[in-house]
Structure 1
Amino acid sequence: MNPALNLTTPALLFPAISLLLLAYTNRFLGLAAIIRHLYDDYRKSRDQKILRQIGNLRTRIALIKWMQFLGVGSLFLCVVAMFQVYTGWPVLAQLSFGISLLLMIASLGISLAELVMSSDALKILLSDLEAQKEA
């Protein structure tokens, strides 16, 4: 069964996509501030641990870029689907909306991977603190 797509179906994703893009941007800005701070610390101490952290953050920044790219693509195709419904192209609208959903799924999957990387980085920092405490 192929349900009919109307204007309200893609419009329901607007608030969710907008909030996700805002969250992704906040994550990006937070990481950018951490990188700037670590860069200053590295210039002072030349600690190799800082370089490892910056490498991890570089990967996470790349993931956030892809999360944002896919999220924007999802929003764009939602708007295209709404336009196609409005202009009377229901088959194309369903295709556009379906691809939009797939892009959002991919964006959320990458977000989950970035979250795991973030947790792993915190575990490394905590283990360093625990090792200093024991010494």
Structure 2
Amino acid sequence: MGFSFTTTGDYSRTETWLKGLRDGKYLKVLDAAGNKGVNALSKATPVASGRTAGSWSYEIKRKGRQSAEIVWKNDHIEQGFNVAVGLQYGHGTRTGGYVRGIDYINPALKPIFEQILKDVEGAIKGG
């Protein structure tokens, strides 16, 4: 007993998508998103002196040929304390008090994450 099937079309769209992944076309999208994230974080950071808001940067880390990630960083450190993290999550004071955190990072980056998904898909599909 045998069977047969017939298919039409080709795999050109799949091949284009796979070549886009192989060639790292998504990296340009990640670079642009890194810059947008820095701008969004700088605008969203609570401002006292402006130093924390001005200390955002990003790095794209490649993990072999198969994946990459954007890492946003803030280099404003006071006596070993990362000020951006303290603003986000809260921190104790020298006098025993506590300053409540402000969730400013997640809302600032959410639209960036959503756009990354769309842009990476477009970059890969676009050949």
TM-score by length of 2: 0.33
Higher Rg of the two aligned structures:
2
More strand by share: 2
TM-score by length of 1: 0.32
More helix by share: 1
